Amino acid sequence: MPEMDVALKDAMQISGALGAALVDSGSGMALGLVGGKADFDMTVAAAATTDVVRAKLRTMQMLGLDDSIEDILTTMNNQYHLIRPLTSRSGAGLFLYLALDKGKANLAMARHQLRRIEATIDL
């Protein structure tokens, strides 16, 4: 999937990027990933993030919200984690996951760039 590879490489060009993944929210399996390091396993992070997406979707359903998720943000002391579900029909059930170094990232710009990258993915 060359589009996926290009999208993940583009995500790593976002200022402060530590790692990025395209994840299947049904299985938790990363279809592609880049980045990470010895103390930050992107495979584990991507799989565990699936639980966050599922929980948010269940919450929306329980509240009767007729809406969709644009992105989900987790803010920690040293990192931002962005989750962006794909909106294209071919991307249904998939999401982009991006981990950022909080001290190096511009959150507003990262969200904008991730939205742009998501628009280029056609699986």
Q: Tokens standing for 111?
A: 């969200």
pLDDT tens over the chain, length 123 residues: 558 889 999 999 999 999 999 999 989 999 999 998 878 899 999 999 999 999 999 999 999 999 989 999 999 999 999 999 998 766 678 999 999 999 999 999 999 999 999 988 877
Task: Look up tokens 């279809």; give the residue.
Answer: 31
pLDDT in the model for residue 36 = 85
Cα dihedral sign, 104-76-36-8: negative
pLDDT in the model for residue 122 = 75
Q: How many CA atoms within 13 Å lie on the side-chain side of 75?
A: 4
DSSP annotation of 122 reads -
- Structurally, how many domains does the chain consist of? 1
Q: What is the pTM of this model?
A: 0.91
Domain that holds residue 70: 2-120
**Which domain CATH number covers 41?**
3.30.450.30
**Residues 65, 111, 28, 10: what is their CA dihedral angle, to the nearest 10 degrees?**
150
Q: Which amino acid is at 86?
A: L
